[in-house]
């Protein structure tokens, strides 16, 4: 299994989560600004995540996913995550990323994971980083 975590970050909270997931999966991590769609073909497990921006995924993640259009990801497993404040009005980037990944042919391996930050700029709420362990499910699918 060769895995990669593709992420966007603004204040560093999502990067912290991405690095934690990468450690759990023994995976590479790539910031969306460094993404080369053609190189993703070498991976078979993916985690995509970003902070919630205006109730949606970040513009960087939107652009990264657009780069993947036209590529085939059939048979590739994926999971998603986001960072957001603890509010029912916060929005949900991870579910929106999942919808886009499904259209690109990815098989979704697990439900989205939401990491809570203590305010607009963070930091992560104490204990939230422990949720990265959920991504072991991506190894076994």
Question: What residues in the chain have per-residue pLDDT under 50?
Answer: none
d(CA 136, CA 126): 21
Model pLDDT, residue 106: 96
Superfamily name with CATH number, domain 3-140: Flavodoxin domain (3.40.50.360)
- Bridge-partner residues for 117, per DSSP? 85, 124
């Amino acid at each position: 299994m060769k895995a990669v975590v593709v992420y966007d970050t603004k204040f560093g909270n999502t990067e912290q989560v991405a690095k934690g997931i990468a450690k759990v999966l023994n995976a590479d991590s790539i910031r969306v600004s460094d993404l080369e769609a053609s190189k993703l073909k070498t991976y078979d497990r993916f985690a995509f995540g970003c902070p919630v921006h205006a109730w949606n995924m970040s513009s960087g993640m939107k652009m990264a996913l657009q780069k993947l259009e036209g590529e085939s990801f059939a048979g590739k497993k994926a999971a998603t995550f986001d960072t957001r404040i603890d509010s029912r009005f916060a929005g949900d980037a991870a579910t929106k990323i999942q919808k886009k990944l499904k259209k690109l042919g990815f098989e979704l391996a697990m439900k989205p994971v939401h990491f809570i930050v203590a305010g607009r700029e963070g930091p992560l709420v104490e204990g939230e980083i422990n949720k990265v362990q959920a991504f072991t499910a991506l190894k076994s699918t």
